Structure 1
Amino acid sequence: MQYVHEETNSLDERCYKNFDLTPEILMEHAGLALARAVKKKLTCKKSALFVCGMGNNGADGIVAARLLYGAYTVSIYLPFELKSELAKLQLKRAKKVGVSVLNELIDADIYVDALFGVGLNRPLDELTCKLLKTLNAKQGYKIACDIPSGILNDLTLSSVIFQANETVTMGALKLGLLNDTVKDAIGDIKVANLGIARSQYETPSSNFLLRKSDLKLPIRIKKNTNKGTFGHVAIVQGSKEGAARLAGMGAFHFGAGLVTLIGEKPKKLPIYLMHSETLPKNANVIVAGMGLEMPFDEPALKTLLLANNLPLVIDASLSHHPLITEIIASQKPVVLTPHPKEFSAILELTCKEKISVEMIQQNRFKHAKHFSLAFPHVVLVLKGANTIIAHNGELFINTYGTPSLAKGGSGDVMSGMIGALLAQGYTPKDAAISASLAHALVSRTFTCNNFALTPMDICKGLKWL
């Protein structure tokens, strides 16, 4: 896992105070990292244009241009009058070594956005929006310095965002780079050191970026085992029985020893899935909500879910039903797996807050953390382009998901996978993290096109992780 920070000004200040570093030293290292990224895309026949703003983000771009000049064709475009004293100093140095400073936009092979950093606190004006539209229309490779211009420090967006192929962010990962709304604008993210190792620059954070190494597969180590060793997942089947079947397949393929669908006998069931009209006595976890169309037998379902101590995985239709408040109030271990619309319904039912899907998507982190603090015994898996696992004020962000997962049934499979890990002894948080990672990473193993992946392919792909 890697720390993710809501802001980094305090980390810069800590460098000044604790390590006797200066803003200029940090700026030189930021410029060097940016120059290295540009250099990888440059040849003697290619050119780079640094579009620099009036503050210290612009100064980082000016430093990078100065470092590259002489060996490569680079120039600086300044659309605004400089305000930062350090930016003015860096421009003076760049001019002395011969860097061309332009008063109009020119064509180049590489465009570097050094207009605004993470401190942007206002929507961009019409002139800047027009500039970004022009840059976005250019054919060259695009690199953003720290964060693409147009992303505000409160994670809201201007009407136009610089569309980067690559973002070189300074010092540490920023939360603003990981929101769903900017996934198409940031490109590949690289973190630049600022004169000290990243581990020295950073302080502990309650936000984490998940890495592949955080995936803990349910590999079977013990040899003296039987099917009961690996748990029994009970899945509530609704009127749309295919959803429960997919969840069952996900649970079975992810290591559960036994999987039973509860409800009316389905018309067709894979031979490795069992059926029962009642909760099996040896069940270890209950998965419910998928395919559960309303109206349903609410008293019976309430008894099934709450008249025992089994952990729950709750998905889909139950997010919209008042029963969700009793489930959470029961203090049972619960994993919720909503998409944003379902999460909006959960917030209204449990927190009495009417928050639209648009507002949730604008700042998913804030709403997920707020919910997790209100209900610390619940693990929230907020699905999206970047899935968030929230628990007791901590956020774990999974960025490995691909558009191929945007299919009906994909989420049902993941709910079953979470249930499988709970049945095998994982904590609710660890089950949610590892199932989410496995689910996303499977989608990356397929070499076919990105529109034909099916939920069954996800189940099959688990064999090769």
Structure 2
Amino acid sequence: MKIFNADQIRIADNITISRQQISSIELMERAAFRVFRRLRDAFLPVEGTVWVFSGIGNNGGDGLVIARYLSDAGYKVRAVIVNFSKHRSADFLLNYDRLLETGVAIDELHEGSVYPVIEEGDLVVDAIFGIGLNREPPAWVAGLIGHLNAAAVKIIAVDVPSGLFMNGMVPDEHAVIKAQHTYTFELPKLVFLLPDTGKFTRSWSVVGIDQDKDFIAAEVTPFFFTEEEEMVAMLRRRERFSHKGSYGHVLVCGGSYGKIGAPLMCAEAALTAGSGLVSALVPRCGYGVFQTAVPEVMCVPVTGVDHLDEIRPDFDPDVFAIGPGLGTHDDTAKALADLLEHYHGKLVLDADALNILAGDPRLWRFLPENAVLTPHPGEFRRLAGAWGSDRGMMEKAMAMASQKGVVLVLKGAYTMVTNGREVYFNSTGNPGMATGGSGDVLTGVIASLLGQGYTAMEAARLGVYIHGLAADIAVRQTSQWALTATDIIDFLGDAFLHLSALKK
């Protein structure tokens, strides 16, 4: 699913109006009615009043239409006009007149007005500002937003939480609505997917309004939101006349004294994600652990007892997965540098392999094309330097992927995958994944898919999706609080079953 900026959204609206031969007021009616239906089904009825706060632009017009439908459906409604400007849009004015005819109570707020009292049991619908906001709200409107946020009620935002800029800037966090849920029109908004702006809506969903499909298909954007249908199509079937050599040999390189669990989970995840063969190159302190815990993994100990002092096996795996539990000992850093200088195949770097890379930028020139790097924000900061906002983080990730010729998997909520030209945000996963070892599992899944013949971008995107899907299935039984990394491994099979059952 594509993600458009504010200008592209406005163009989509205008083209839709032109090609469907409808008026802007008819498109507004359609959009607001569909939000009303979703709101009614998910959040109504309520004990008290439904307060609809509307600005004086088109987002406010949406609010007025919603207020009218709520009234027609028998709910107790109060419409509040937030007069932050003297200029009212034509569609707002038309819907204002229509609402007057219904007899709904309408309050008008101006600078100096007393804010209405929102009581427990009420519900607030936020339609004050839309996607066009590009400057801080007036102080009295910011005060109103703070007043609404402080009320002990749910706030449902229309399209975007009021006060949120589409370019990602948040000059004053106290002047942004904190929504329980946002119903956004047609396509996701980038600001929902970045931590410093996504926090202003606890959840969100897309409401289709039948924007012109040809325009959406043709319009170019670097930003995408991954959907299940695409992942189902990407998943490859297993061939009947195949063998273990058909599905790749992954070599997991990692572990150090006290950190053998990390490569162990990575290797087990690679096996569970479908690798034909998995080997582990580990220090001698990990040999017994591997032989006992995962008998399917071939264990190759090096001479180092507590850390890896070489990464040059006497066989040629299809994929190297390097980093889980690796440590940053000087011997280990030298071994990694030696491998990178001579290896030109498929590669996934994670954890301390990234920290070694950050400490010796000369190693960048040895990275094979389309190597997959899977940093969390702290590791990425060490690789790329500081940034001022999460949008800046995203832009740094795109620039690094483009300049270095790698695929970056920036882990977090809506994990971001980029090759520098495109950015894909993941749609699976939950906060329970914020637990030690989940990243090691992801490294194993991505390496496994690389070995099975997926491209670097495919392996990264599908791996991130399946990893998150397994966690989503797992928490139905374990809860987000109790989820562990090994739970994610245990439910990888369920994730593959879910996707494969949808293949035609």
TM-score after normalising by structure 2: 0.83
Q: 2:77 maps to what in 1?
A: 74
Matches of 1:460 and 1:254, distance apart in 2: 11
- 1:215 corresponding residue in structure 2: 231
Is the deviation greater in 55-64 or in 430-439?
Answer: 55-64
Q: Deviations over 1:26-77 (max 9, x none)?
A: 2222222232233333349653211111322112111221233233222211
Aligned partner of 1:334 among 367, 371, 380? 371
Q: SS at 1:268's partner residue?
A: helix
Instruction: Measure how far apart 1:16 and its partner are.
Output: 4.6
State the shift of 1:260 in Å: 1.6
How many residues of Structure 1 are paired with residues of Structure 2 in the alignment? Answer: 455
Q: Quick one: structure 1 residues 147 and 70, their matched pair in 2 at CA, closer, same or farther if it must change by over 3 Å?
A: same
Q: Secondary structure at the match of 1:150?
A: coil
Among candidates 224, 236, 243, match of residue 253 of structure 2: 236
1:332 and 1:369 mapped to 2: Cα distance? Answer: 15
Instruction: Flag the 1:455–1:346 CA change in 2: closer, same or farther, 3 A.
Output: same
- Which residue of structure 2 lines up, in the alignment, with residue 113 of structure 1? 126
Mapped partners of 1:147, 1:250: distance in 2:
38
| 1:313 matched to 2:348 | yes
Q: Does 1:274 align with 2:291?
A: no
Question: Which AA in structure 2 matches 1:272?
Answer: E
Q: What's the secondary structure of 2:221's corresponding residue? A: coil
In the alignment, the residues of structure 2 paired with residue 91 and residue 180 of structure 1 have an alpha-carbon distance, to the nearest angstrom, of 36
Q: Which amino acid aligns with 1:368?
A: A
Matched, 1:85 2:89: yes
Query: 2:112 — aligned with what?
Result: none
Residues 63-111 of structure 1: per-residue CA shift (max 9 Å, x gap): 2212332332222112325522322332222113322112442436321
**Worse overlay, 316-325 or 222-231:** 316-325
**Segment drifting more, 269-278 vs 200-209:** 200-209
**1:188 offset after TM fit, Å?**
4.0
Question: Partner of 2:500 in structure 1?
Answer: none
Q: Structure 1 stretch 104-113 or stretch 151-160: which is displaced more?
A: 104-113
Choose the corresponding residue for 2:168, options 135, 155, 158: 155
CA displacement, residues 433-457 of structure 1 (integer Å, 9 cap, x when unaligned): 1110111111111222212222111
Alignment RMSD (CA, Å): 2.6
Maintained 8 Å contact 1:4/1:173: yes
Q: 1:64 aligns with which of 63, 66, 70?
A: 66
Inter-partner Cα distance in structure 2 for 1:71 and 1:458: 45
Superposed counterparts of 1:1-150, under 5 Å = 2-7=1-6, 8-16=9-17, 18-40=19-41, 41-43=43-45, 47-72=49-74, 73-81=76-84, 83-86=87-90, 87-103=92-108, 104-107=115-118, 109-150=122-163
CA contact (8 A) 1:328 1:334 kept: no
Q: Offset at 1:279?
A: 1.8
CA contact (8 A) 2:3 2:187 kept: yes
Cα distance, 1:412 vs structure 2: 0.8
Deviations 1:306-327 (A, max 9, x none): 3132211011223233445534
Alpha carbons 1:336, 1:378 under 8 Å: kept: yes
* Aligned CA distance change for structure 1 residues 280 and 3 (closer, same or farther; 3 Å): farther
For residues 252-300 of structure 1, the C-alpha deviation after alignment (integer angstroms, 9 at most, x for no partner) is: 1111122222242214112222222342423001111222222332333
Q: Rate the CA distance shift 1:14–1:370 in 2: closer, same or farther, 3 A.
A: farther
CA distance in structure 1 between the aligned counterparts of 2:367 and 2:46, rounded to whole angstroms: 67
**1:407 and 1:155 mapped to 2: Cα distance?**
28
Q: Please point out which of 373, 381, 395 is paired with 1:366.
A: 395
Matches within 5 A, 1:183-332: 183-194=198-209, 196=211, 203-215=219-231, 221-239=238-256, 240-265=259-284, 266=286, 267-269=288-290, 270-276=294-300, 277=302, 278-297=312-331, 298-320=333-355, 321=357, 322-323=359-360, 325-327=362-364, 330-332=367-369
Q: Secondary structure at the match of 1:422?
A: helix
Distance in 1 (CA, whole Å) between partners of 2:383 and 2:220 is: 30
Q: Residue deviations 1:196-217, cap 9 Å, x none?
A: 4556556343321112233358
Residues 47 and 122 of structure 2 are in contact (CA less than 8 Å); yes or no, is this contact kept in structure 1? no
Q: Distance in 2 between matches of 1:241 and 1:182?
A: 37
Q: Could you tell me how far 1:17 is from its partner in structure 2? A: 5.0
Alpha-carbon contact 1:233-1:260 (below 8 Å) kept: yes
Equivalent residue letter for 1:282: D
* Kept after mapping to 1: 8 A contact 2:354/2:375: yes
Change beyond 3 A, Cα 1:200–1:280: same
Change (3 A) 1:43 1:330: closer
* Local SS of the residue matching 1:173: coil
Structure-2 change in CA distance of 1:463 and 1:219 (3 Å):
farther
Instruction: Verify the 8 A CA contact 1:166 1:187 in the aligned structure 2.
Output: yes
Give the SS at the match of 1:275. Answer: strand
Distance 1:132 1:385 in 2: 26
Query: Contact (CA 8 Å) 1:25, 1:195: kept in 2 or not?
Result: no
- Shift of residue 341 of structure 1? 1.7
- Residue 18 of structure 1 and its aligned partner are, at CA, apart by 4.6
| C-alpha spacing 1:159/1:43, structure 2 compared with 1 (3 Å) | closer
The 10-residue stretch of structure 1 (173-182 or 279-288) with the greater mean CA deviation from structure 2? 173-182
Q: How does 1:315-464 map to 2 (within 5 A)?
A: 315-320=350-355, 321=357, 322-323=359-360, 325-327=362-364, 330-347=367-384, 354-356=385-387, 359-375=388-404, 377-446=405-474, 447-464=477-494
Describe the SS at the equivalent of 2:116.
Answer: coil
Partner deviation per Cα, 1:308-356 (whole Å, 9 max, x = no partner): 3221101122323344553455443300101112112222xxxxxx423
- Quick one: distance in 2 between partners of 1:393 and 1:279? 35
Pair 1:140–1:16, CA change in 2 (3 A): same
Q: Which moved more, 1:58-67 or 1:130-139?
A: 130-139
**Counterparts of 1:116 and 1:408, CA distance in 2:** 40
SS of the equivalent of 1:142 reads strand
Contact 2:13-2:211 at 8 Å conserved across structures: no
Which runs of no fewer than 5 residues in structure 2 stay unpaired? 109-114, 303-311, 496-504
| 1:181 corresponds to 2:196 | yes
Q: Check whether the contact 1:344–1:355 (CA below 8 A) recurs between aligned residues.
A: yes
- Where does the alignment leave 5 or more consecutive residues of structure 1 unmatched? 348-353
Question: 1:44–1:400: structure 2 CA closer, same or farther, 3 Å change rule?
Answer: closer
